């Protein structure tokens, strides 16, 4: 993350300290507060509706050749999530952000850089274990990291430059829905411009907000298709509580208890991050009778915890009903150690829209 994350400046990988507390406060107030999430509800609703209508229009075009439409769902989930996140963060949809100077679609450039970012972020590098060997750069990993970091910086930096130009020219008008970047600039207007720019770049790499949802949605759909009895029960719940005359709303989620159980079971079996983000002790401490020196790095095996047979009956089986009976009080919001996930509430809401509305 020294190379890929602006020298440890990214929110998720920044060391604990004044800088981390500052960006955490900013993100909590301006992006993740209940007030902000409620105000941006229409963005999530609109993007899901547009995506589903797009599928329908594609089906209409292909209807003469076939009554079926083949869709790569992994890619489709990614695009829907990206459109939601980009609209909230940047103010434009994903496809609008990825147009080159001559209208060229640079979607593939972003996807490629994003894929390389996650691959390199989780890759074992020899110099991490043996720092004195770093100058050798075995395998060329550091060279590839620098290349990927430059590509991402150029892409996101271009969006930021456009955003700053719009602000300077007065394109953003009073009463317009604020994007996350607008909120950051307003909150940091007394700070140096460098700090403002770093906050925007380091806390808003759109990958963080969409990758986990896309991965979880893909796994969930796969699990449902391989367990048709669960899919049928979920459809019956929707038909009973929502009906077929309208689409699912976010306010319906509190009543769709079986759907919530399905999402929890998907989180349990296939967490988007099987190994947690590394944590490090900042001072000497004692845990369970063991002395832990300062600087000790901890990586939690989330997947192993989720499949612990001492906690979960038939841990490798897809059984959403467990969250309606034996584990009905277990949630994914950080209160239960037997089910650890980085998901936030709106992630589950978005999934409820995507999984069954089409």
Each residue's pLDDT tens digit, 173-191: 444 555 555 555 555 554 5
* Mean pLDDT score, 330-336: 77
* Structural domain boundaries enclosing 272: 209-356
Could you tell me if 147 and 218 lie in one domain? no
Q: Does 54 fall in a domain?
A: no
Euclidean distance between CA atoms 37 and 259, whole angstroms: 21
Q: What is the pLDDT of residues 224-277, one digit of tens each?
A: 999 999 999 999 999 999 998 888 888 898 899 999 999 999 999 998 888 887
Instruction: With 0.85 as the threshold, say if the pTM is over it.
Output: no
Q: Is residue 145 part of a domain?
A: yes
Place of tokens 């992630």: 347
Does residue 226 share a domain with residue 200?
A: no
114, 187: one domain? yes
Task: List pLDDT tens digits, range 65-74.
Answer: 778 889 999 8
Q: Which residues pair with 50 in a beta bridge?
A: none
Give yes or no: residues 226 and 294 share one domain: yes
Tell me, yes or no, whether 22 and 154 share the same domain. yes
**Over the stretch 29-47, which tens digit does the pLDDT of each residue have?**
766 777 777 888 888 888 8
Record the tokens describing residue 225, joined without a space. Answer: 């298709």
Q: Which of 189, 205, 221 corresponds to the end of one domain?
A: 205
Residue 344 is predicted with a pLDDT of 41
CATH of the domain at 226: 1.10.630.10
In a domain, 288, yes or no: yes
* Rounded mean pLDDT, 78-84: 85
Same-domain pairing of 164 and 33: yes
pLDDT at 133 over 60: yes
At 149, the pLDDT band (50, 70, 90 cuts) reads confident
187 shares its domain with 222: no
Number of domains in the chain: 2
Residue 350 has pLDDT above 50, yes or no: no
pLDDT in tens, 304-329: 999 999 999 999 999 999 999 999 88
């Amino acid at each position: 993350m020294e190379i890929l994350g602006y020298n440890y400046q990214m929110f998720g990988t920044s060391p604990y300290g004044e800088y981390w507390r500052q960006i955490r406060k900013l993100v909590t107030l301006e992006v993740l507060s209940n007030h902000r999430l409620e105000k941006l509800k229409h963005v999530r609703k609109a993007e899901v509706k547009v995506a589903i209508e797009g599928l329908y229009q594609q089906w209409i075009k292909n209807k003469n050749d076939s009554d079926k439409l083949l869709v790569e769902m992994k890619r489709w989930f990614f695009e829907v999530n990206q459109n939601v996140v980009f609209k909230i963060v940047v103010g434009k949809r994903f496809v609008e952000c990825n147009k080159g100077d001559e209208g060229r679609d640079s979607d593939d450039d972003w996807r490629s850089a994003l894929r390389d970012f996650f691959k390199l972020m989780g890759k074992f590098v020899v110099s991490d274990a043996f720092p004195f060997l770093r100058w050798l750069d075995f395998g060329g990993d550091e060279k590839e990291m620098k290349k990927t970091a430059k590509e991402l910086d150029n892409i996101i930096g271009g969006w930021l430059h456009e955003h700053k130009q719009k602000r300077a020219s007065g394109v953003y008008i009073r009463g317009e829905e604020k994007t996350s970047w607008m909120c950051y600039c307003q909150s940091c207007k007394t700070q140096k411009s460098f700090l403002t720019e770093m906050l925007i770049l380091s806390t808003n790499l759109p990958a963080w907000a969409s990758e986990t949802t896309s991965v979880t949605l893909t796994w969930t759909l796969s699990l449902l298709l391989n367990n048709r009895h669960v899919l049928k029960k979920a459809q019956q719940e929707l038909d009973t509580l929502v009906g077929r005359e309208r689409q699912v709303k976010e306010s319906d989620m509190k009543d769709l208890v079986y759907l919530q159980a399905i999402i929890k079971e998907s989180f349990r079996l296939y967490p988007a991050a099987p190994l947690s983000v590394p944590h490090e002790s900042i001072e000497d401490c004692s845990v369970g009778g063991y002395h832990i020196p300062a600087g000790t790095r901890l990586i939690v095996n989330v997947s192993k915890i989720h499949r612990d047979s001492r906690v979960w009956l038939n841990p490798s089986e897809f059984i959403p009903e467990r969250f309606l009976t034996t584990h009905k009080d277990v949630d994914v919001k950080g209160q239960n150690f037997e089910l650890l996930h980085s998901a936030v509430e709106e992630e589950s809401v978005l999934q409820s829209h995507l999984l069954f509305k089409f």
